[in-house]
């Protein structure tokens, strides 16, 4: 009777998710495909009628929003999702930053060769160390050697590779013989972020990009359902997008020649040679504009989780209005007063507590995802514990995320 009941239960699960029965032995390790839709704001799916994403959430679980880590830019948040750590702990505090110990600049444009900066363990490294095969199609830093490890299957990032080829590659990896098949796979698309930056979140170009990536999700989901075993599909984004107008130039308020300034859209990291210089710049910027605020690293807002590590800088400047920060004359309009008109574009990096437009997405369905679950907004560091639990791998010590947060969406 027990065996018959288990078979009936498996059939019910397959029907509910429209997934075929799992053709694996009882206790076999599950599969997860994690997809990032860069710059896909929390409200885009409903706003632009992304039917496949909405169907995925209806078949499984989705969140009202996923809250990105600060600063709300691409590389820090992609790494937070796959490590369960805030940027202050995994160390990728921006798309670019200065490392005082290495005396080097980090740049996401050189990510595959920047292994000296990587002291974290993303999910693919954790899995590989536990002899679980993984694959990655362009997830940030997945083409770099980290702690001496790479995914079993990976491709060097090439933004010119057509999106359909990316989907086909993931499906091809899943069609490998069972002994060679990866159990965790990562996939990345940049279309929505690019459109949002160039045309703004309210543009027809952004709507078109949403429709394109939604079709890709539909194609991927159909391909997964055609496999003779179940696969969990989890779709996330790293951040949202905000319409901005103009910028504020910090050099109008103080001499920046003695410090190193790294701007990150609405955020700037200031690295000073000594505490006296840091204090001088702080005093020259503090309270001088309604457009931004400046903090000593140790005094940054607690919700940022952003005060550990020299990579953050001695001072952090963050805007309070929808403008960007620059540290010297640029071609873009700049202002110490109200933003100028006629320069609308899209940007991210803002404090997620002050800009709801920074919030991201979480949609999931599959054998290990409970159907009909709507999750309240949660921080993206909580995705990693769910991934580890589904993959049946041991999480490393020191993660910031909690398994309890997404437990309502998990099913044995």
Q: Please give the positions annotated as active site.
A: 74
The Cα angle at residue 300 between residues 385 and 319, in degrees rounded to 5: 105
Q: CA–CA distance from 243 to each of 70, 76, 193, 292, 361 (Å)? A: 18, 21, 12, 17, 19
CA-CA distance, 150 to 154, in Å (whole number)?
8
**Are 295 and 123 within 8 A, CB to CB?**
no
Closest by CA position to 358, among listed 379, 341, 337, 335: 379
The Cα angle at residue 171 between residues 394 and 23, in degrees rounded to 5: 65
CA-CA distance, 28 to 366, in Å (whole number)?
15
Closest by CA position to 400, among listed 388, 412, 377, 384: 384
**Are 63 and 83 within 8 A, CB to CB?**
no
CA-CA distance, 410 to 179, in Å (whole number)?
26
Handedness of CA 314, 318, 324, 327 (dihedral sign): negative
Q: Burial level of 173, CB count in 10 A (0-12/13-18/19+)?
A: buried
CA-CA distance, 113 to 231, in Å (whole number)?
32
Q: Residue 215: phi, psi to the nearest 5?
A: -65, -40
Q: Residue 272: phi, psi to the nearest 5?
A: -105, 150
Helix (H) or strand (E) holding 51: helix 51-59
């Amino acid at each position: 009777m027990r065996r018959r009941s288990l078979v009936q239960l498996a059939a019910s699960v397959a029907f509910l998710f429209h997934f075929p029965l799992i053709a694996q032995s009882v206790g076999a390790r599950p599969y997860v495909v994690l997809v990032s839709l860069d710059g896909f704001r929390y409200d885009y799916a409903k706003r632009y009628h992304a039917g496949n994403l909405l169907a995925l959430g209806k078949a499984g679980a989705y969140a009202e929003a996923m809250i990105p880590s600060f600063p709300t830019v691409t590389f820090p948040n992609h790494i937070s999702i796959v490590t369960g750590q805030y940027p202050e702990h995994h160390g990728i505090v921006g798309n670019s930053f200065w490392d005082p110990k290495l005396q080097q600049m980090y740049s996401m444009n050189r990510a595959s060769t920047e292994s000296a900066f990587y002291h974290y363990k993303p999910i693919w490294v954790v899995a590989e160390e536990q002899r679980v095969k993984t694959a990655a199609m362009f997830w940030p830093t997945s083409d770099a050697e980290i702690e001496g490890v790479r995914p079993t299957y990976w491709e060097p990032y090439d933004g010119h590779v057509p999106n359909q080829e990316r989907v086909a590659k993931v499906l091809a990896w899943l069609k490998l013989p069972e002994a060679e098949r990866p159990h965790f796979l990562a996939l990345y698309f940049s279309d929505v972020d690019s459109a949002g930056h160039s045309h703004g979140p309210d543009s027809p170009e952004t709507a078109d990009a949403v429709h394109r990536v939604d079709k890709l999700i539909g194609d991927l989901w159909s391909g997964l359902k055609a496999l003779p075993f179940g696969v969990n599909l989890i779709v996330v984004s790293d951040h949202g997008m905000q319409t901005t107008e103009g910028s504020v130039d910090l050099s109008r308020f103080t001499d920046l020649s003695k410090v190193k300034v790294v701007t990150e859209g609405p955020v700037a990291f200031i690295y000073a040679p000594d505490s006296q210089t840091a204090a001088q710049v702080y005093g020259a910027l503090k309270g001088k504009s309604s457009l931004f605020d400046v903090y000593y690293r140790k005094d940054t807002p607690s919700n940022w989780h952003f005060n550990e590590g020299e990579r953050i800088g001695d001072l952090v400047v963050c805007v309070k209005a929808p403008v960007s920060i620059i540290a010297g004359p640029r071609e873009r309009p700049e202002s110490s007063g109200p933003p100028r008109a006629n320069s609308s574009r899209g940007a991210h990096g803002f404090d997620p507590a002050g800009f709801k437009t920074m919030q991201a997405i979480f949609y999931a369905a599959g054998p290990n995802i409970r159907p009909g679950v709507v999750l309240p907004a949660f921080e993206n560091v909580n995705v990693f514990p769910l991934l580890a639990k589904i993959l049946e791998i041991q999480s490393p010590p020191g993660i910031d995320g909690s398994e309890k947060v997404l437990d309502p969406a998990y099913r044995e």
